[in-house]
Chains A and B, each alone.
Chain A
Amino acid sequence: MWPPGPRGQPRRVAPTIMNDTLLTVENLKTYFFTERGVFKSVDDVSFTVPRGKTVGIVGESGSGKSVTALSILRLVSAPGKIVGGRVMVSCRGVLQYAPTGTVDLLTLEESEMRRFRGGKIAMIFQEPMTSLNPVFTIGDQIEEAVALHQKELNEAQRWEQVLEVLRLVRIPDPERAARSYPHELSGGMRQRAMIAIALGCRPEILIADEPTTALDVTVQAQVLELLRELRERLGMSLILITHDLGVVAEQADEVIVMYAGKIVEQGTVRQIFSHPRHPYTRALLEALPTFHTTGRLRTIPGSVPSLAALPRGCSFQERCDRVQQRCREEDPELMVMGEGQVARCFFPEL
C-alpha cells in the first residue's frame, strides 16, 4: 500500500502514484465551521485505493468516515469545507489528462467535477429508506444516471441498461421493479436499487457508506455478497465504510482505522487482524464477538472526544490503557510499522 520506509519513522505521503492505483487521497482536511467551534472531522487523511481492491474504513460513530467519503466527491455541505489536501484520480485514456494521467478532483471546476461524480466514483448511502427520491420510479432514477454518464445511448438502449443493472443487482422481475416507486420495495430491495443507480453511472470506484447498517442480518449478508461479486465482475474498486470489523475481515483487502478525524492505523487485512499495532485497533478487535466468546463482550471505555476541543497530544489518550506522559504532550504521527502497515502511536503493540 505504501512504499516501505524505515521502521519506526514517520511515514511520507506516497511521492508517485503507482500504476495500479486508481485513487490517492493526500492530506485531506475537512473542517466544519460552526458556532460551537471548528470541528476537524477529517484531519490530514491520506490513503490509496488500488484498482479492483476493497479498502475498508472502520471507526466509531463520528470518527469522520462519511465526511471523508463525501469529501472525495466534494459533496460536503456547509458549514463543512475542504480546507486542504488533494484527491488524485488516475485518468488513463482521457486525452485531456493524458500528460500526467492523473487529476486532482479538488482543483476541478464544479461542472467538470460532475463528470467524475457518479461517472468515475459513485457512492451509495447508509439509509436506503431515505436515499431514494420518493416521487420518481426506480427505473427513472436509474435512467437518469445512465443518461448522465452514457450519453451515447438512445432512449431504448438506456432502458435496456436500466433493466441490465437491475438484473446485475439481482432484483427479481426487473421490469416491474423499474416501474415501482421506492416505498413499494423492501429495505433490502431499496439498497439493491441504490446500488443499481450507482452502477448505472458505470463507476470505476464505488464508495459504500455503511451500506447494510439499516438492514436486517440476513439481508446484510446478501447485500455484502452482492457488492463483492459486482466488484469482481465489473473490476471496480470498493471503498467500504463500516463500523463492523467483521464485515471488513470478510470483504476488505486493506483496512483504514479512523479515530476522531484521523487515521490511527492502516494496513492489510492480515496485518490489522493478526498484528494490530494501535491500542484503539486492538480494543476494537477485542470488542468483536468471536466464535469462542463467552460472557460479556469487552467494550472500549469512554467515548470519542469532541472534535472541536481535542486534547493536546494524542486524541486517544483518555481511553488508552498504554498512555504515558509523552502521549499527553505530543501528537504522534503515523509511523511505519512494517511493510505497508502504519500506526499513529508512540508505544505501539509489538
Chain B
Amino acid sequence: MGVYLFKRLLLIIPTFLGITLITFLIIQMAPGSPVSLKIQQMGGEGIRTETVSKAVIEQTKKLYGLDQPIHVQYLQWIKRLATFNFGDSYKDHRPVLTKIREALPVTLLLNFISIFLIYLISIPLGIFSALKSRTLLDQAVTVILFILYSLPSFWVAMILIIYLGGGEYLNLFPVAGISSQGVGELTRWGQFGNVLWHLVLPIIVLTYGGFAFLARLSRAQLLEVIRQDYIRTARAKGLSESAVILKHALRNSLIPLITLSGTLLPAMIGGSVVVEQIFSIPGMGKLGFEAVLSRDYPTVMAIAAIEALLTLVGILVSDLMYVWVDPRISFEGM
C-alpha cells in the first residue's frame, strides 16, 4: 500500500506540470493582455492604444515580467510555486494566496454540502425506483428527474430569486453574498446559521440537476446487481427480502457510486462558476471568472493549479476507495 501510494503521488508531479504548462500557454495565447487592459483603464474609453507611448507599454510589461520569453515566464512561475508564492494579483495587487484563502473555503463548503445532499437524496431515490422498477411510481420519478436535469441552472436561479428572494413574491432567502451585514456581532452558531441561510438558494441550484445522474446510476446499478446469481444464492439461504437487498445487493451496487465521489468535487467546483456569479458568492468560481475577464494571469494560474491538484487528488482518492470497498481490487494489481 505504501509503495503504491508513493508511486501514485510521484505520478501526480509530471501530470500536474503538464496541465499547468498547457494552461499557461493557452492563457498567453488568448487575445487581449493585461497590458492593453491596463492602458485602456488608464486612458479611458476614448484613447486608442497606439497613442500611448511605447515607453509606458514596455514599462508595464517589465513590471509584470511579460517581456521575458514564455518558457522563462513559466519556469519563474514554477519556481515561485515551489515556495507557495502565487504572486500578486494584477488587479488589486493583493497576494493571490490571500485571495484564494478567502475564496476556497466558501466554495468547498458550498460544494461539500451539495454533494452530500445529492448523495443523501439520490441513493434512496435510486433504490426506491429500482425496487418499484417499471411501475408508474418509478416512471414518475424518472420523468421528474429528467425535467430537473434539463432545466438550465441560470434560469432556475432567476426563478428562485424572483419567487423566494424578495422579488415580487416571498422574501424568504437572501440572494447575494454569503452573510448579512453586521454578522460579526452574532454568536458563532448565529454566524454559521446566517451563512447557511445565504447558501440555501445556491445549494438548491447546485443540487437539483445532480439527482438525475446519481439516482439513475444507483437505480441501474441495483437492478443490475439484483439479477446476479449471488442474489439468488442469498435468497436460497432463506434470507428476508430486505436483508437480501440492503446487505447483499446494496453493498455491491454502491461500489461505483462511492468511488465516483472522489472525482465529483473538482467537477462541481468547475460547475459552480455560474452559481457563484449569480448569487455574488465570493468563491473560487467568481474569483476565477473575474480574473479571466481582467487577464489577471497570476490569479488565473493559481486557480488552475489548485483545481488541477484537486482533480488529481480526487482521482487518487477514487482509486483508493475502490480498493477499500471492493475486495476484488488490490494494490498489488495496480
Mark A residues whose CB is within 8 Å of B: 73, 75, 110-111, 114-119, 122-123, 125, 127, 130-136, 144-145, 148-149, 181, 183, 194, 197, 201
Contacts and interface: CB of A to CB of B under 8 A. Distances in A.
Contacts of B238: 114-119, 145, 148-149, 201
Nearest to B328: A183
Given A122-B237, A135-B252, 9 more contacts: A115-B238, A125-B232, A130-B229, A132-B230, A133-B230, A134-B328, A135-B325, A145-B237, A201-B237
A41 B299 CA distance: 70
B239 interface: yes
A148 B233 CA distance: 14
A133 B237 contact: no
30 contacts: A75-B232, A75-B236, A117-B237, A117-B238, A119-B238, A122-B236, A122-B237, A125-B229, A125-B232, A125-B233, A130-B229, A131-B229, A131-B230, A131-B232, A131-B233, A132-B230, A133-B233, A133-B252, A134-B252, A134-B327, A135-B251, A135-B252, A136-B251, A144-B239, A145-B238, A148-B238, A181-B327, A181-B328, A194-B233, A197-B233
A144 B244 CA distance: 11
Interface string B269-283: 000000000000000
Contacts, number: 71
Given A114-B238, A144-B239, A132 B232 contact: no
Main secondary structure of the interface of B (DSSP, over half): helix
A73 B237 CA distance: 10
A131 B227 CA distance: 11
Contacts of A132: 230, 233
Nearest to A74: B235
B83 to A, nearest CB: 46
B326 interface: yes
A123 B328 contact: no
A127 B255 CA distance: 23
B326 A118 contact: no
Nearest to B249: A133
Contacts of A117: 235-238
List the 4 closest pairs (A to B, CB-CB), nearest first: A118-B238, A117-B238, A130-B229, A133-B230
A132 B236 CA distance: 12
Nearest to A127: B229
A118 B240 CA distance: 12
Contacts of B326: 134-135
Which of A73, A134, A201 is the most central at the interface, judged by chain B CB atoms within 10 Å of its CB?
A134
B234 interface: yes
Nearest to A69: B236
Nearest to A145: B237
A77 to B, nearest CB: 8
